[in-house]
Amino acid sequence: MWRKIALAGVVLSVVSGQVHADANRAGAVVLTIYPGAKAIGMGGAFSAIADDPSTLWYNPAGLGTLKGGILYLVHAPWLRTLVTTNDSYFEFASLTSSTRFGTFSLGLTYLTVGEVNVVYGDVDYGTTTPYDLVFTLGYGNKLLSTPIGDLYVGGATKALYSFLISRGILERMGDDPNSGDAFTVAVDGSVFLKKWPGYSVSFGFMNLGPGLKYGNVEPDPLPYSLRLGVAVVPVYDTINKLQIAFDIHKVAVGITDEFSRGITVPGPGNTVDTVYGFAAVMRDAWMHVGVDYTFYNLVSFRIGYFYDYRGARVGPTFGGGVTYKGFTIDIADDTQIYDFNKQQDIDPKQNLRFGFRYTKRDFKLF
């Protein structure tokens, strides 16, 4: 069993791209990977923007603001600096439709690091292709209108299947043949206050559910999280639209230990300091800020900043998009946030994300 777990650890560390905070104490890292090319171009600051179907992941209440029928696809060659086989991918697809009861969205996430050699000692057991599949059903609707904005509520249910290694290989290794894959479920929920153009605020929880259990080992907790988003629109007319957003994402696994026992951080020189309480909790949070400028509802330019100090993911992101007659194509680049892409002895590969969206505004499922 421990050999399988060692392999899983290697695979998951590559998949997560050094996702730390206290996600390093959680499993199912696929649930922490941000979808959406527009969102990535804005540094991940998207919860209070919520204007494309990737809001299913960030803020399901935002689905209530989407009208019509929408096909949404995202493709990303995944962390090719680390995974050199050129067969690592992140894919996200969703179908979203408004109805007279609110807006529903069905999403599929697929992540693979490609083919991995299974070698223990001097024995080559062949290859495996680990992957994760996440099916998500989300719903959002307007609850009420108030003088300070429209209030939306929403939620999502996820089913996650994670495959690491086949039964045949595990049997030949002498391990539990049932320990090569796992299944679990989780739920998300959020509220969203929007006065547009003007401002919006969102708050939600993510990935609340039982842990991910491979065979008979102790389950890994899911990366259950809290997320707060704020956005403002200082410019909004027929020619120019400017959106500015800020998000905080906190993986809550181990949050009480962080608060009471503290976390270590670099101090002056080569020293190490320990911080406690709220300062420790916030030091371990992921922070995002982003700007989107759109000209004539046709061309968009984006820039953002992603800050995850302990996870060694700090840096700018960039992106843009073109919209014409219901079709939208987006691209984003977050290469510079990853510490391993900044090493002098490495040849960094661009970490690009491509998005395609088609919207039929007069479509309603029922």
CA–CA separation, 16 and 111 (whole Å): 10
6: CB partners within 8 A, 6+ apart:
none
Q: Which of 59-73, 198-212, 223-237, 247-261 is predicted least confidently?
A: 247-261
Helix (H, G, I), strand (E, B) or coil at 343: coil
Is the separation of the CB atoms in 17 and 338 below 8 Å? yes
Domain boundaries, given as residue ranges, for the chain: 2-360
Residue 270 has pLDDT above 90, yes or no: no
Segment 327-345 shows an average pLDDT of 88
Is the separation of the CB atoms in 185 and 33 below 8 Å? no
Alpha helices in the chain (DSSP H): 2-16, 37-41, 55-58, 167-173, 255-261, 277-283
Residue 16 has pLDDT above 50, yes or no: no
Which one of 69-83, 161-175, 184-198 scores highest in mean pLDDT? 184-198
Give me the count of residues in the chain. 366
How many percent of the chain have pLDDT more than 90? 67
CA–CA separation, 294 and 319 (whole Å): 12
Q: How far is CA 184 from CA 37, 134, 137, 208, 222, in A?
A: 27, 10, 15, 11, 9
Q: Domain spanning 2-360 has what CATH number? A: 2.40.160.40
22: CB partners within 8 A, 6+ apart:
251, 252, 253, 254, 255, 258, 284
Q: Specify the DSSP class assigned to residue 43.
A: T
Element (H or E) spanning 157, and its range? strand 149-163
pTM of the predicted model as reported, rounded to 2 decimal places: 0.91
165: CB partners within 8 A, 6+ apart:
4, 7, 8, 118, 128, 130, 180
What is the per-residue pLDDT for 19? Answer: 41
Is the separation of the CB atoms in 42 and 330 below 8 Å? no
pLDDT range class, residue 86, cuts 50, 70, 90? confident
Q: Specify the DSSP class assigned to residue 346.
A: S
What is the per-residue pLDDT for 109? Answer: 98
pLDDT range class, residue 21, cuts 50, 70, 90? very low
Q: How far is CA 213 from CA 127, 143, 210, 352, in A?
A: 22, 37, 9, 32
What is the per-residue pLDDT for 309? Answer: 83
In order, the DSSP letters of 298-340 are TEEEEEEEEEETTTTEEEEEEEEEEEETTEEEEEEE-GGGBGG
Output b/e per residue, 240-275; b: 16+ Cβ within 10 A: ebebbbbbbbbbbbbbeebeeebbeeeeeeeeeeeb
How many percent of the chain have pLDDT more than 70? 92
Q: How far is CA 74 from CA 78, 183, 266, 336, in A?
A: 12, 24, 37, 20
| pLDDT tens column, 106-132 | 999 999 989 888 887 788 899 999 999
CA–CA separation, 209 and 224 (whole Å): 8
In order, the DSSP letters of 200-237 are EEEEEEEEES--B--TTSPPBPP--EEEEEEEEEEEES
**Residue 158 CA, distance from chain mean position:** 14
Instruction: For tokens 């024995």, name the residue.
Output: 123
